[in-house]
A = this chain, B = another copy of it.
């Protein structure tokens, strides 16, 4: 037995303004919901909570899909759920690869024995839909097309126009990653004809990480029910999971994360109270104010024009700004978290999230004021006040 002398102190993390790629700030009502004493995961009252979560998730995903649940894991668990249930050995899958998360999907497809047909695009640019169309024609039978709606590693907002119809015209399923869009940008599962759509709780839903929304179309369910091989995961097997989530069945599969379900229900209830249109408008307005301020400081948007996410702003750093030093000072002196770059963008960009509860004008002004202060020390030509003024002007002139 290892000896240890350390005493474990009261939990007392520092205050943080969470403006990274997730987690975002969590509303006090959601925090309070988690402190509710537990009931059993098969308690009739818990089953009602699950029904409500399903109903609210359908509203949020804008779908009638009966299979609409929260996977018992974080966003990557929902990604893996979609892939391991839909893909079998030998299946060919077109994957849009222009960032970390497309690459992650491709890895999962490979680990299922599937073959990845890559559609590459530069980091910062969207996947050209015409190349998907071309590969659907050229690459032989395709089981599915998988694409990231909001690429968390680059801040790219991927257009999905008519992609569902295009896929279905070739008997392919459409899988869409909405981890950084659901709850902050419109995600219209039925209108866009998406077959598998997943997200995470700790981004635009402003709920702590630990659950991951997933919805599957009836077409996707039909594919799952007619697999030739069993799903390689027992934990994520949708046929088993469905038996627990389906009204009237409620067969024990695994123990649901009860406190997280409390939190998700409350987070969804808050979104429902705000309304989707008001919520999307809020994300847009604060995002535009932030951009104006960042551009005034010399930051430049990484995504191609017209493709910047409104939930997560990915900006290239001015030459005079040292990534690690300034991010560390933001964290330690101002209690502000922003995200650094991943992969080839490490050290070169920041990823600034204004998601859910973090999407407020307070967040924008606080971050810009802190940045102005630190920037003017690093570069005397930075005029204090300029960035905040630019943001303020954009915010105040925003059409109501």
Contacts and interface: CB of A to CB of B under 8 A. Distances in A.
Interface residues of A, number: 86
B200 A255 contact: yes
A221 B271 CA distance: 44
A119 interface: no
Contacts of A355: none
Nearest to A265: B11
A137 interface: no
A75 interface: yes
Contacts of A34: 31, 34-35, 259
A8 B255 contact: no
A255 B80 contact: no
B210 A260 contact: yes
A74 B72 contact: yes
Contacts of A230: 110-111
A284 interface: no
A76 interface: yes
A62 to B, nearest CB: 5
A52 B7 CA distance: 10
Given A72-B210, A108-B234, A33 B11 contact: yes
A13 B252 contact: no
A234 B104 contact: yes
A235 to B, nearest CB: 5
A209 B40 contact: no
Contact of A32 (B35, B39, B263): B35
A77 interface: yes
Contact of A23 (B32, B255, B262): B255
A232 B337 contact: no
B43 A2 contact: no
Interface in A69-98: 72-77, 79-80, 84
A23 B37 contact: no
A256 B76 CA distance: 11
A210 B268 CA distance: 19
B16 A26 contact: no
A16 B43 contact: yes
A272 interface: yes
